[in-house]
Amino acid sequence: MTEETQGPTNRWKTLDKDLGRIAQMEQAIGFINKPMIAVSISLVFVLICAAAAVLFSGGASSTMIVVVAAGFGAYMALNIGANDVANNMGPAVGANALTMGGALIIAAIFETLGALIAGGDVVSTISGGIVAPEAVAEPRIFVWAMMAALIAAALWLNLATWLGAPVSTTHSIVGGGMGAGIAAAGFSAVAWPKMGQIAASWVISPVLGGLIAALFLAFIKAFINDVPDKIAAARRWVPVLIGIMAGAFAAYLAVKGLKKLIEISLGQAVVIGLVIGIATILLSRPVVRRQSEGLENRKKSLKKLFGLPLVISAALLSFAHGANDVANAVGPLAAIVHAVQDNATEAKVSIPLWVMVIGAAGISFGLVLFGPKLIRMVGSEITKLNPMRAYCVALSAAITVIVASWLGLPVSSTHIAVGGVFGVGFYREWHAERRLRLLGIEKGKPVAADERKRRKLVRRSHFLTIAAAWVITVPLTAVLSALVFVFLRMIG
């Protein structure tokens, strides 16, 4: 046999080996997801982070404070990975575009890359201006306040994950900072107008995310799914949808995820998004045409065209989340390290590299060890998703953040993504109800109430649980943080 004929065979053997390695990784992930093993690995990770902090502490007298803070920072990062990252990967897994193991691997890689490459090197330590810095100007009080905020936010995220409720990491930290600030300096230390904006975002984020996701799904149904020649319509509109995704994510990453590398205004980010979006439309047209060749003219065939764009969008969301939200995990830890080593408190501090590594590694570990529960819930237990519906959710997440940034609204990426899933589900309900009503008119007999109730496509129990968790996040973490602060002050 010649070398030329051996080439393809060798390439296939290499591909088989690569696929085998991925399968082994997925099996390993399935093994470590067993409860006691996951808890044991988490405990070891926290202890390693605490021990590593000894190398970076500022002196013998302050070593214990930094070690304890590093342990709680690692615990917080684990809980963010377990709870928050599900919003990025849940739709792709629910739509069967990714296996659970594949989603965990991709998310862990891109979360880490986002945190280390583009993660913010400066973090607001008093929860985004919620508490006046001068209210906790004494370094000792400041350290206790940051420690209390960190512990309270981590405990609430842990409880929310156990309850199966995806909640906002940012709001958890905000509530923790507010509670500790009130306990340290009274109610006058809190910027209540800012808290009013955050309370408004509880409604704005999910409603805006759900509305945009529903509008995109309505567009796909009207211009692709429900036309006679579905393949021709897909060739015309799928590249446009891919271009919108590329442009939205380019603007999103530019304005939210690349602050560490380069400062970009919102206007510049939008221009970048437009250029990349148009270029993507032109480049994707021949690709979509090739993919659509030989497909049957039915809705099920169209799902194939959305699979790869959905996977790419999930990876980009994870990168942006790692870049933008890792500071929530380690911001209080960075503030404690700064206060202990420099004996000073500031509204903003730099995040040391070792602290950022704890945050990035903790989010990845938490995702792999505990993330599948909420990934399944977001992806398949709220409403049934397919690649087209999940794609609408991903588009909504990127576009809503851009719109909110333009309007100056403080929104939560968690609320947006979950709101997008609910938006898709409620639109499907409305569409199904409309079809039933028209069917009843045609037959001259209304559809029975039992039949209409049976066709509810969104699980109300999840809707109520998640909505309740969102509402109580800030007040609950504030009360818990205040109690922890009082305890720390007593023993301190």
Query: What's the rounded mean pLDDT across residues 322-350?
Result: 77
Query: What's the rounded mean pLDDT across residues 447-465?
Result: 69
Between 261 and 36, where is the model more confident? 36
Q: Between helices 35-56 and 353-370, what is the axis angle to 10°?
A: 180
Query: What's the rounded mean pLDDT across residues 463-490?
Result: 91
CB 77, CB 328: distance < 8 Å? no
Q: What's the DSSP call for residue 446?
A: P
CB 408, CB 198: distance < 8 Å? no
CA distance 359 to 123: 13
Return the structure tokens found at 350: 């730099």
AA letter at 463 = F
Return the structure tokens found at 112: 């880490």
What is the Cα Rg of the chain in Å? 24
**Residue-level pLDDT at 3:** 44
| Residue 221 Cα to chain centre, angstroms | 27
* pLDDT above 70 as % of the chain: 82
Query: What's the rounded mean pLDDT across residues 71-91?
Result: 89
Helices within 228-298 (DSSP H only): 230-252, 266-292
Phi and psi, residue 348, nearest 5°? -135, 140
Between 30 and 138, where is the model more confident? 138
CB 403, CB 112: distance < 8 Å? no
**Residue-level pLDDT at 1:** 46
For all residues of the chain together, what is the average pLDDT?
A: 82
CA distance 210 to 193: 26
Residue 90: how many other CB atoms lie within 10 Å: 29
CA distance 85 to 367: 7
Q: 104-161 pLDDT, tens per residue?
A: 888 888 888 888 776 666 666 665 667 777 777 788 888 898 899 999 999 999 999 9
Return the structure tokens found at 284: 């994707």
H or E stretch covering 323:
helix 299-342
Between 347 and 73, where is the model more confident? 73
CA distance 15 to 468: 48
CA distance 320 to 114: 6
Helices within 57-99 (DSSP H only): 63-83, 86-94
Query: What's the rounded mean pLDDT across residues 74-84?
Result: 91
AA letter at 117 = I
**Residue-level pLDDT at 264:** 77
Cα angle 208, 390, 224 (rounded to 5 degrees) comes to 95
3-class SS of residue 457: coil
440: pLDDT confidence band, cut at 50, 70 and 90? low
Q: 391-425 pLDDT, tens per residue?
A: 999 888 888 877 776 766 667 778 888 999 999 99
Is the pLDDT assigned to residue 254 strictly greater than 60?
A: yes
- What are the CA-CA distances from residue 99 to residues 1, 92, 103, 105, 276 (Å)? 39, 9, 6, 10, 29
* pLDDT above 90 as % of the chain: 24
CB 103, CB 89: distance < 8 Å? yes
- Buried b / exposed e over 109-138, threshold 16 CB at 10 Å, is ebbbbbbbebbbbebbbbbbebbbbebbee
H or E stretch covering 139:
helix 139-163
H or E stretch covering 465:
helix 460-491
CA distance 146 to 332: 5
Is the pLDDT assigned to residue 81 strictly greater than 50?
A: yes
Q: What's the DSSP call for residue 377?
A: I
Q: Is 69 left (phi over 0), alpha (psi -120 to 50) or beta?
A: alpha
**Residue-level pLDDT at 2:** 47
191: pLDDT confidence band, cut at 50, 70 and 90? confident
Q: 214-251 pLDDT, tens per residue?
A: 999 999 999 998 899 999 999 999 999 999 989 988 88
- What are the CA-CA distances from residue 67 to residues 118, 191, 388, 415 (Å)? 26, 31, 47, 33
CA distance 177 to 211: 31
pTM across the whole model = 0.83
Most confident among 89-103, 113-127, 255-269, 468-482 (mean pLDDT): 468-482
Residue 192: how many other CB atoms lie within 10 Å: 11
CA distance 107 to 373: 15
Q: 355-392 pLDDT, tens per residue?
A: 888 988 998 899 888 888 888 888 888 888 888 999 99
By DSSP bridging, strand 122-124 and strand 348-350 are antiparallel
Question: First-to-last CA distance in the chain?
Answer: 78
Q: 270-317 pLDDT, tens per residue?
A: 899 999 999 999 999 999 999 888 888 888 888 888 888 888 888 888
**Residue-level pLDDT at 434:** 79
Strands (E), 352-440: none
